[in-house]
Amino acid sequence: MENILEIKDLCKKYDNFELKNINFNLPKGMIMGLIGENGAGKTTTIKAILDVITSYQGIIKIFGKDIHKYSEVYEDVGAVLDESFFPEILTPNDISKIMPGIYKNWDNNLFKKYLVEFALLPNKQIKTFSKGMQKKLEIATALSHHPKLLILDEPTSGLDPVARNEVIDIFQNFIQNEECSILLSSHITTDLEHIADYITFINDGEILLSTTMDTVLNNYGLVKCSEKEFNSIAKTDYLKYQKNKYNYEVLITDIKKFKKKYKIDVIDKITLDNLMLLMIKGVK
């Protein structure tokens, strides 16, 4: 499967934080969800991909080309960052005049279509928009130069559930031709469970997990058991556990294999929230 984004041994060191050997690939036609706590390294990784920060070690390739050698790859990359990158005095009409000078594939008709779809008034200054409206404007701008790769940092932050569903539908339509891909960082893990093909979990600057969403949702499980039952489970048969007031919660990676070996009845399907909590707070 051809990769649209490749990251190999990405490292970046700050005074109080370090990104350590980040490795993952995003195949063409797929959506990858990037999850982790605040400060885990998601935004640093995204900024490195977008060449916003440059003093790092490692290799980043987009469309098979090293971004340091082929900066023109960004013509085909659309981005939405967690913080707004538009001056607040601008209007959507101003943006429609500026962007053709930045992107040769800028499509004003498509941009206007998104303004109507998102109910954004073209002559209103950005400072009068709510946070959700500003996010919609950034998404509209990112999509309107026909990118092949979308890099999205909390793109649905500040949106109500209806608007979130509208945006998610747009993202799903974006990858329908199987030539485009999305890297999507989000704290709204339920959205990722519905749309992501792959999941990459960063914690404290390191990748704890990078695999397909099907693997996580179909193979991983949450065992709820008594202390006696927990003591019967070999350490090699679980990833992490957490002791609660009345029982133990145990994270396993192969439900079928576990059921064959142990007679423990309560095994729940995992959610990304459960996964993050146990991987970060659980004990090995």
How does residue 160 score in pLDDT terms, banded at 50, 70 and 90?
A: confident
- What pLDDT, on a 0 to 100 scale, did the predictor assign at position 83? 73
Radius of gyration, CA atoms only, the chain? 21
Cα–chain-centroid distance for residue 167? 14
How far apart, in whole angstroms, are the C-alpha atoms of residue 36 and residue 44?
12
Number of H helices, E strands in the chain: 10, 14
Is residue 275 within 8 A of residue 216, CB to CB? The reply is: yes
How does residue 53 score in pLDDT terms, banded at 50, 70 and 90?
A: confident
End-to-end CA, the chain? 34
Using CA atoms, how far residue 64 sits from 6, 12, 155, 244, in Å, is 8, 22, 26, 47
Of 134, 39, 128, 143, whose CA–CA distance to 89 is shortest?
128
DSSP tag of 283: B
- What pLDDT, on a 0 to 100 scale, did the predictor assign at position 86? 84
Q: Locate the domains of the chain by residue range.
A: 3-212, 220-281
pLDDT at 1 over 80: no
What digits encode the pLDDT tens for the residues 244-279? Answer: 988 999 999 999 999 999 988 889 999 999 999 999
How far apart, in whole angstroms, are the C-alpha atoms of residue 272 and residue 263?
25
Query: 4: buried, middle or exposed (CB in 10 Å: 19+, 13-18, 0-12)?
Result: buried
Is residue 53 within 8 A of residue 12, CB to CB? The reply is: yes
The total number of residues shown for the chain amounts to 284
pTM for this predicted structure: 0.92
pLDDT at 7 over 80: yes
How far apart, in whole angstroms, are the C-alpha atoms of residue 247 and residue 227?
7
How far apart, in whole angstroms, are the C-alpha atoms of residue 279 and residue 267?
17
Q: What is the mean pLDDT of residues 8-19?
A: 92
Half-sphere exposure of 238 (CA within 13 A, CB side): 27
As given in the structure block, the two tokens for residue 185 are: 């960082």
What digits encode the pLDDT tens for the residues 81-130? Answer: 877 778 899 999 999 999 999 999 999 999 999 999 999 999 999 999 98
Task: State the Cα torsion 12-17-21-27 to the nearest 10°.
Answer: -80
As given in the structure block, the two tokens for residue 91 are: 């209007």
Q: What is the mean pLDDT of residues 21-40?
A: 94
Share of the chain above pLDDT 70, in %: 100
What digits encode the pLDDT tens for the residues 196-228? Answer: 999 999 999 999 999 999 999 999 999 999 999
Amino acid identity of residue 210, one-letter, is S
Name residues whose C-beta falls within 8 Å of residue 25's C-beta, 6 or more positions apart in sequence. 3, 5, 6, 7
Would you tell me which CATH number, out of the four given (2.60.40.10, 3.30.750.24, 3.30.420.10, 3.40.50.300), belongs to the domain 3-212? 3.40.50.300
